[in-house]
Amino acid sequence: MDREFAYSYNEYVKYGNGYKDLNPISKLTISLCLGIASCVVHKWQFGVVLVVIATIFALYTRVFRKYIRSLAVIGIPLLLLTSVIRQLQYGKVPGNTPIFKVLGWQWYKEPFIASMDIAWYIIGFSSVLLIYFLNTEMKDLMLALENRGVTHVASYIMLSSMQSVIDMKKSADTILESQKARGIETDGNLIVRMKAFFPTLGPIFLSAMSGTEEKAIAMDARAFSHEGGHTYLRVLRPIPAWEYILDAIAILILIVSIVYTVLRALHRI
């Protein structure tokens, strides 16, 4: 047995990475404040700055591949779609400065910038949240929430629901495989796949429901409903003062962005 591993539970939860080791709630506060600020400011420059910062963190925390893949899935269609829609809505945005032509179709600067504002605030918001979720174990977040008074029941429901989705996917795969073995076509075009998939939903949900009853019994056997103090094998490190300062800065950025947006709106009026 790896005793070193076993005794590592005596220490605080540690990943050896400055960002990952932040308290999950602090990280969430920072990410949400910056993300919401991006939505409030609604300027492409702010979104781009957020994406740059998030990308640096993605490199630092070694999640760049997953991060860029997910961001591209959200960002590229969004950029294209908003640009085209805004150009089609030409005239709704004041200004008519031509910038370039696409296959003879004249594009204008003002609707283009408006589309960039929309796309980049969403991409900016997504980028900070992506970095958060790629670097935060849900069990750490739930542990942090339990430390702040969330009941272990709520925490368990959250975490086990996520596992249930994985389990249900596994049982769907198993059923599809057995259907295949019985000669039912499961591969092919969308309609063929749907025809094979929909009949599996009944057994999947029924087995999930019966599994839930047994899981409840298993958890009861593990003293889940035991009254009295819980202890934790994994303990998050105490939050240092500088982490609170980081949170405060993020909240301040959000407040400033709200004030800036309100003042800008008033100025326009």
Partner 1 sequence: MAFIELKNVSYKYPYTKNYALHDVTCSFEKGKFYGIIGENGGGKTTLCNLIRGLIPHFYLGKLTGECLIEGKDIRDWDTSKLCSQIGYVFQNPFTQISGIKSTVFEEVAIGLENLGVPKEEMIERVINVCEQLDIGHLIKNNPNTLSGGQRQRVAFASIIAMDTDTLVIDEPTSQLDPEGTANVFKIINTLKHSNKTIILVEHKIDLIAEFCDEILVMENGTVAFSGPTHEVLTNRELLDHRASIPETARFGLAMEDAGKALPKIPITLDEAYDLIKERG
For residues 57 and 94, the answer to whether their CB atoms sit within 8 Å is no
First to last CA, the chain: 71
Provide the minimum distance between the beta carbon of 7 and partner 1 in the complex, in angstroms, as a whole number. Answer: 7
Residue 162 or 256: which CB sits closer to partner 1?
162
For residues 100 and 148, the answer to whether their CB atoms sit within 8 Å is no
Structure tokens at 92: 């709704």
Closest CA to 117 of 86, 144, 153, 149: 86
Q: Which residue, chain included where needed, has tokens 């961001």?
A: 71
Structure tokens at 267: 């100025």
Provide the minimum distance between the beta carbon of 133 and partner 1 in the complex, in angstroms, as a whole number. Answer: 16
Provide the minimum distance between the beta carbon of 234 and partner 1 in the complex, in angstroms, as a whole number. Answer: 7
Partnered with residue 183 across adjacent β-strands are none
Residue 70 or 164: which CB sits closer to partner 1?
164
Q: Which residue, chain included where needed, has tokens 């400055």?
A: 18
Residue 26 or 174: which CB sits closer to partner 1?
174
Residue 166 or 265: which CB sits closer to partner 1?
166
- The span from the CA of 185 to the CA of 201, in Å, is 17
Provide the minimum distance between the beta carbon of 34 and partner 1 in the complex, in angstroms, as a whole number. Answer: 28
Residue 93 or 145: which CB sits closer to partner 1?
145
Provide the minimum distance between the beta carbon of 6 and partner 1 in the complex, in angstroms, as a whole number. Answer: 5
CA distances from 27 to 83, 93, 182, 204 (A): 32, 37, 50, 36
Q: Could you tell me how many residues make up the chain? A: 269
Q: What region, left, alpha or beta, does residue 94 occupy, with left being phi > 0 and alpha being psi -120 to 50 degrees? A: beta
Provide the minimum distance between the beta carbon of 2 and partner 1 in the complex, in angstroms, as a whole number. Answer: 7
Residue 6 or 194: which CB sits closer to partner 1?
6
Chain residues binding partner 1 by CB under 8 A are 1-3, 5-7, 9-10, 137, 139, 152, 156, 159-160, 163-164, 166-167, 211, 214-235
